[in-house]
Amino acid sequence: DFLVSSSNKEAYKLVNSWPEWRSRKIIIFGDSGTGKTHLSKIWQKNTSAIILNLNQLKKIKFESFFKKKNIFIIENISDFFDKINNKEKNNLEKQLLHFYNLIEEKKGYLLLTSLIAPKLWKISLPDLKSRILSSIAVKIKKPNDQLLSSVLVKLFVDKQILIDKKIIKFIVYRSERSFANLENIVNKIDKQSLITKKKININFVKKLI
């Protein structure tokens, strides 16, 4: 279900090259709605990775924890550093550094996702910052017209709706360029067409986007 284009090809290839990674930790970053979570779910399916959030790291007894599993995902990691006070942040950074070191020691793997590049994360602990910056980081760029059009076609097909190419082009050029937004638009069109029993044409779509 993951549609590959020039905007996400590098991240897609990296995720699917596991376990032949040059580093045991990789970071995928990019704007909201570009497919980071979709990719992490693909990797989770392939590896049975455990999804964590940074708050859970405070409660984990690492030595026993790593006996059960050594493959992990942490989503939207940069958000945590923006939303906590300094005392919590210092403790969290120490825990994350310990976790990062154990990934290497226990020969585990870690996939992180973020909205922004690792160098922009608000990390104060120098050792953690250096570990983060030594990880492989890949950006997913904003989707191009071809990818957005392909996603739209797929979303309509999933709803069993045959749609004119002109309508696909119209939606791509006149709406926010994210997959989440396209999904919302298709759901609206599907719902309204079922309620009104009207034909899906340009005028019909224009009123909904």
Residue 86 confidence (pLDDT) above 80: no
Q: What are phi and psi of 110, to 5 degrees?
A: -140, 130
The predicted structure's pLDDT at residue 84: 72
pLDDT of residue 192: 93
pLDDT value at 41 more than 90? yes
Neighbour-count burial for 71-84, b at 16+ CB within 10 Å, e otherwise: bbbbbebbebbeeb
pLDDT (0 to 100) of residue 47 = 94
Q: How many CA atoms lie within 13 A of 141 on its CB side?
A: 11
Q: What was the pLDDT predicted at 112?
A: 96
**pLDDT-based confidence at residue 3 (cuts at 50, 70, 90):** confident
Region 9-18: mean pLDDT is: 94
Nearest CA-CA partner of 136 in 10, 28, 17: 28
Report whether pLDDT(179) > 90: no
Report which residue type is found at 185.
I
pLDDT, position 146: 87
Q: What's the CA gap between 26 and 11, in Å, rounded?
A: 10
> Is the pLDDT assigned to residue 71 strictly greater than 80?
yes
> Using 50, 70 and 90 to split pLDDT, how confident is the model at 19?
very high
Asked whether residue 175 carries a pLDDT value surpassing 80, the answer given is yes
If you average pLDDT over every residue of the chain, what do you get?
A: 89
The Cα 47–Cα 209 span in angstroms is: 39
pTM above 0.85, yes or no: no
Q: How confident is the model at residue 207 (pLDDT cuts 50, 70, 90)?
A: confident
DSSP states of 10-57 as a string? HHHHHHHTTT--SSSEEEEE-STTSSHHHHHHHHHHHH-PEEE-HHHH
Q: Is the pLDDT of residue 187 over 90?
A: yes
pLDDT the model gives residue 27? 97
Dump the DSSP string for the chain.
Answer: -PPP-TTTHHHHHHHHTTT--SSSEEEEE-STTSSHHHHHHHHHHHH-PEEE-HHHHTT--HHHHHHH--EEEE-SHHHHHHHS-HHHHHHHHHHHHHHHHHHHHTT-EEEEEESS-GGGS----HHHHHHHHHSEEEEPPPP-HHHHHHHHHHHHHHTT----HHHHHHHHHHS-SSHHHHHHHHHHHHHHHHHH-----HHHHHTT-
- Tell me what the mean pLDDT of segment 109-116 comes to: 95
Which residue has tokens 């926010």?
A: 176
Confidence class for position 140, pLDDT limits 50, 70, 90: very high
